[in-house]
Amino acid sequence: MAFPPPIEGDGRQPLSIAPAIERSVFCVECGREGPTTDGLCATCFAKRHPLLEARAHLDVSRCARCGSLRFREGWIRSRLDEAIPRILHEDIPIRWPYEAATFDYVMKPEDTSNLRLEVTATGRYGDLRQVQTFRTRLRLRPSLCDVCTKQRSRYYAGIVQVRAETRVLTRPEKQRVRAFVEARMGRRAEGSEDFVSRIEDVRGGLDFYVSTNTLAKSLGRDLAKAFGGTATSTSKLYGRRGGKDLHRVTSLVCLGPFQVGDVVRHKGSLAEVVDVGPITMLRDLGSGEVRRFRSRDLRTAVAVEAERLEATLEPAGNGTLVAVDPRTGFRQPVRSSPRAGPGRTVVVWTPEGAYVSSLPAGSSKG
Ligand SMILES: [Zn+2]
Ligand SMILES: [Zn+2]
C-alpha cells in the first residue's frame, strides 16, 4: 500500500495519517463483511465522507466584448470547453480526507449562456477510489473584463500615426495597415494589457490610439518594417499621477513614397517598384535590371499612371512583338528588351508602349 502524504485536517480529529485498510472484516457501521477503510465498507465510507458538495449552479463571469472568463486569478482569454475543468476545480472544493480529484464532464448547451454539465469526480484516499457524479448548470454571467472596461472608456496611452512620404495613404494601403494591426492584436498574449482603443481615419493616413507606450513603439517599428518606411517616436510629459510622471509616446510611421507595383519614371527611364522597405527596389522596365535605392535617392522619381494586365504577345515582324489587351483588342508595341517570346504574359500598359512585368497582374496601386 502506498502511504499518502499527511493530509491537512478540516479542524476535526483526523481518522488516521494513512487509511487503515483491512481485507475482510465487518463494517463498523452496517456490519457487512468485506474490505473496509478506516473500519467502514465502501458504501458507508462514501456516505460518511462524500467527495464533494454538489452545487446546482456554477456562475462564471464572461466578458461580453472579448469572451474572456473570470477565474480566481483574474480575467483570462480561454475557450469555454478548455476552461470547464478549471472552473470545477476552483468552485467545487474536494473534501477531507480525499486528495485532489479529477473531473470528467459531459456538456450540453441549453442556450448561449447556460450549459448543463454532468460531472464525474474521482478522488483518492490512499488506495480508495471515490467516484461521485452530479449535475450542475454552468451560468455565464455577462460582464466586462478589465481590458474591455478600459477600452470602452477610450483609454489610451500612446499613439501610432501612419503616414506616407510626399503622398497620402491609399485606401487599399489603409486596409492593409488596419488588417496588420488587427492580426497583431489578435495574437496578443493571455492577460496582455495591449489593446487599440480607437482608430482614426485622418487626412493622409491613420491614427491608432493604443493602451501602452511600449505598444506604441513596438507597433510603430513593426509597421515600418512590414510596409517599408521609418518609425520615429517622441515622448511628451502630460501630467503626474501618484508622484510619477506620465508620458505619452507618439510613434510616427512614415511609409515610403512608393508601393510595390507602382510604375515610376526615374532618371529618364521607366521602372516598376518590386520591393519597399528600408531599401526600395526598382526594376527597369526596359532592361529588366533591378536596382536598390534609399528613399532619399528617389526624391526625383515620379509615379506614372499605368495598368498591369495579362496580355497576349504576338510577333510583329523584324523580331519585334506587339501586346494585345484581350479585353479591348488594343495593341501596343512591346518595348522591353530582352524581349519575351510570343504568348500570354503580364505587362505594364502605358501610353508609350507595353513592358513585360515581373509582378502578377493587378499588383498596381489602387
Ligand atoms: Zn458499511
Ligand atoms: Zn473583455
Answer yes or no: do 235 and 274 share one domain.
no
Task: Give me the mean pLDDT over the 60-66 stretch.
Answer: 88
- Looking at residue 22, its pLDDT comes to 67
Nearest ligand to the C-alpha atom of residue 40: 1
Last residue of a domain, one of 236, 255, 274: 255
What is the 241 CA–ligand 2 centroid distance (Å)? 26
366 is a domain residue: no
Task: Give me the mean pLDDT over the 74-90 stretch.
Answer: 90
Answer yes or no: do 109 and 208 share one domain.
no
What is the 25 CA–ligand 1 centroid distance (Å)? 11
Answer yes or no: do 164 and 193 share one domain.
yes
Contacts (Cβ under 8 Å, ≥6 apart) of 353:
332, 333, 334, 335
Report the share of the chain in percent with pLDDT over 70.
91
101 is a domain residue: yes
Burial class (CB within 10 angstroms; exposed 0-12, middle 13-18, buried 19+) of 77: middle
48 is a domain residue: yes
Q: Is the pLDDT of residue 158 over 90?
A: yes
Q: How confident is the model at residue 29 (pLDDT cuts 50, 70, 90)?
A: very high
Residue with grid cell 494586365, as numbered in its chain: 309
DSSP string, 84-152: HHHHHHHHSPBPTT-EEEEEEEEEEEEETTEEEEEEEEEEEETTEEEEEEEEEEEEEEEE--HHHHHHH
Report yes or no: 355 and 271 within 8 Å, Cβ to Cβ. Answer: no
- Looking at residue 149, its pLDDT comes to 85
- Looking at residue 316, its pLDDT comes to 86
362 is a domain residue: no
Task: Give me the mean pLDDT over the 58-77 stretch.
Answer: 91
Which of 8-17, 274-283, 356-365 ranks highest by mean pLDDT?
A: 274-283
- Looking at residue 339, its pLDDT comes to 59
In this predicted complex, what is the ipTM? 0.84
Residues with CB under 5 A from ligand 2 (ion): 63, 65-66, 68, 145, 148
What secondary structure letter does DSSP report for 366? -
* Phi, psi dihedrals of residue 269, rounded to the nearest 5°: -120, 160
Answer yes or no: do 49 and 135 share one domain.
yes
Q: Is the pLDDT of residue 3 over 60?
A: no
What is the 36 CA–ligand 1 centroid distance (Å)? 8
- Looking at residue 11, its pLDDT comes to 44
**Which is it for strands 307-315 and 269-275: parallel, antiparallel or unpaired?**
unpaired
Answer yes or no: do 41 and 139 share one domain.
yes
Answer yes or no: do 165 and 112 share one domain.
no
Nearest ligand to the C-alpha atom of residue 149: 2
Answer yes or no: do 196 and 238 share one domain.
yes
Nearest ligand to the C-alpha atom of residue 69: 2
Tell me how far apart the alpha carbons of residues 246 and 204 are, in angstroms, rounded to a whole number.
29
What is the 33 CA–ligand 1 centroid distance (Å)? 8
158 is a domain residue: yes
pLDDT digits (tens, 9 = 90+) for 295-325: 778 888 888 888 999 999 998 888 889 999 9
- Looking at residue 135, its pLDDT comes to 96
- Looking at residue 366, its pLDDT comes to 39
Question: Measuring CA to CA, how many Å separate 17 from each of 13, 25, 37?
Answer: 11, 21, 13
4 is a domain residue: no
Last residue of a domain, one of 230, 255, 280: 255
Q: Is the pLDDT of residue 5 over 60?
A: no
Q: Is the pLDDT of residue 57 over 50?
A: yes
What is the 72 CA–ligand 2 centroid distance (Å)? 16
- Looking at residue 190, its pLDDT comes to 65
Question: Measuring CA to CA, how many Å separate 291 from each of 157, 295, 309?
Answer: 41, 13, 23
What is the 45 CA–ligand 1 centroid distance (Å)? 7
Answer yes or no: do 169 and 89 share one domain.
no
Answer yes or no: do 311 and 246 share one domain.
no
- Looking at residue 18, its pLDDT comes to 67
343 is a domain residue: yes
Question: Measuring CA to CA, how many Å separate 219 from each of 160, 178, 231?
Answer: 7, 12, 9
Task: Give me the mean pLDDT over the 245-274 stretch.
Answer: 91
pLDDT digits (tens, 9 = 90+) for 169-183: 888 889 989 999 999
Report the share of the chain in percent with pLDDT over 90.
50
Answer yes or no: do 275 and 211 share one domain.
no
Task: Give me the mean pLDDT over the 63-67 stretch.
Answer: 85
Tell me how far apart the alpha carbons of residues 168 and 174 are, in angstroms, rounded to a whole number.
10
Number of domains in the chain: 3
**Domain encompassing residue 197:** 154-255
Task: Give me the mean pLDDT over the 118-142 stretch.
Answer: 92
Answer yes or no: do 48 and 117 share one domain.
yes
What is the 313 CA–ligand 2 centroid distance (Å)? 57
Last residue of a domain, one of 109, 143, 177: 143
Q: Is the pLDDT of residue 17 over 80?
A: no
- Looking at residue 97, its pLDDT comes to 92
What is the 141 CA–ligand 2 centroid distance (Å)? 13
What is the 63 CA–ligand 2 centroid distance (Å)? 5
364 is a domain residue: no
Mean pLDDT for all residues in the chain:
87
Answer yes or no: do 231 and 311 share one domain.
no
